[in-house]
Amino acid sequence: SAVISQKPSRDICQRGTSLTIQCQVDSQVTMMFWYRQQPGQSLTLIATANQGSEATYESGFVIDKFPISRPNLTFSTLTVSNMSPEDSSIYLCSVGRDSNQPQHFGDGTRLSIL
Amino acid sequence: QKEVEQDPGPLSVPEGAIVSLNCTYSNSAFQYFMWYRQYSRKGPELLMYTYSSGNKEDGRFTAQVDKSSKYISLFIRDSQPSDSATYLCAMSGETSGSRLTFGEGTQLTVNP
């Protein structure tokens, strides 16, 4: 399966600031997703990152808060904007080689907001 | 009501035991069913992947899907301390690569 690298692996940020998380894959993939895993909870899909077009957001998530870029088939970024303590979470990138292949995950970015 | 229900545990078993992990779901559109294993401070790792109803075996792991009952299971035979992790069930609809809906995860500890 693809090797998925996320940066940073963890960060501690101040309230009101923004952080951009990178997801790099070692091979071209059609599907890229961003999930959030809040402490002690399961994964919730934030959005599908579409190459060359705007991301598709799930209910409860908006582009102004979580802008996403997908410039090519191996790279995507998620920005968490104007952070508050409620944004403290693990943010995970997942990829699928195509729409008929299961998703594989990176190790996530552990974000704490003070 | 959650679309996918999974007992969070924790579940503690002795080494060598057979472990049974289960999820129920309410959305009949789900066709693809996955089990992920997540170690502490790591991302979920795909363990098993099945389409529609039936069984699939891979080494010590067996996945079962009963779409009529909306119930899926993961069995681990001869459990090892290295199996200690959180196990997440996940499901998707139209294609296996489409959006996933996860269960809450079951925390498993296998004691030597």
Query: In sequence order, what are the beta bridge partners of B66?
Result: B71
Question: What is residue A98's DSSP assignment?
Answer: S
**Which residues of chain B approach chain A closer than 8 Å at the C-beta?**
6, 32, 34, 36, 41-46, 49, 88, 90, 95-100, 102-105
By the 10 Å C-beta count (0-12 exposed, 13-18 middle, 19+ buried), B29 is classed as exposed
| Average pLDDT of chain A to the nearest whole number | 94
- The residue ranking higher by pLDDT, A52 or B59, is B59
Q: Measured between beta carbons, which residues in chain A are less than 8 angstroms from residue B102? A: 42-44
- Cβ-contact A47, A21 below 8 angstroms: no
- pLDDT band of residue A5 (cuts 50, 70, 90) is very high
Write out pLDDT tens, residues A94-106.
Answer: 998 887 788 999 9
Average pLDDT rounded to a whole number, residues B6-13: 92
Which pLDDT does position B78 carry in this prediction? 98
Q: Measured between beta carbons, which residues in chain B are less than 8 angstroms from residue A43? A: 44, 88, 90, 100, 102
| Average pLDDT of chain B to the nearest whole number | 93
Write out pLDDT tens, residues B41-90.
Answer: 999 999 999 988 889 999 999 999 999 999 999 999 999 999 999 999 99
Q: Measured between beta carbons, which residues in chain B are less than 8 angstroms from residue A31? A: 97
CB contact under 8 A, A96 and B97: yes
Which pLDDT does position B95 carry in this prediction? 65
- Cβ-contact A110, A8 below 8 angstroms: no
3-state secondary structure chain B: CCCEEECCCCEEEECCCCEEEEEEECCCCCCEEEEEEECCCCCCEEEEEEECCEEEEECCEEEEEECCCCEEEEEECCCCHHHCEEEEEEEECCCCCCCCEECCCEEEEEEC
Tokens in use for B43? 């991302």
pLDDT score of B97 more than 80: no
- Cβ-contact A37, A92 below 8 angstroms: yes
Which pLDDT does position B96 carry in this prediction? 57
Write out pLDDT tens, residues A56-86.
Answer: 999 999 999 999 999 999 999 999 999 999 9
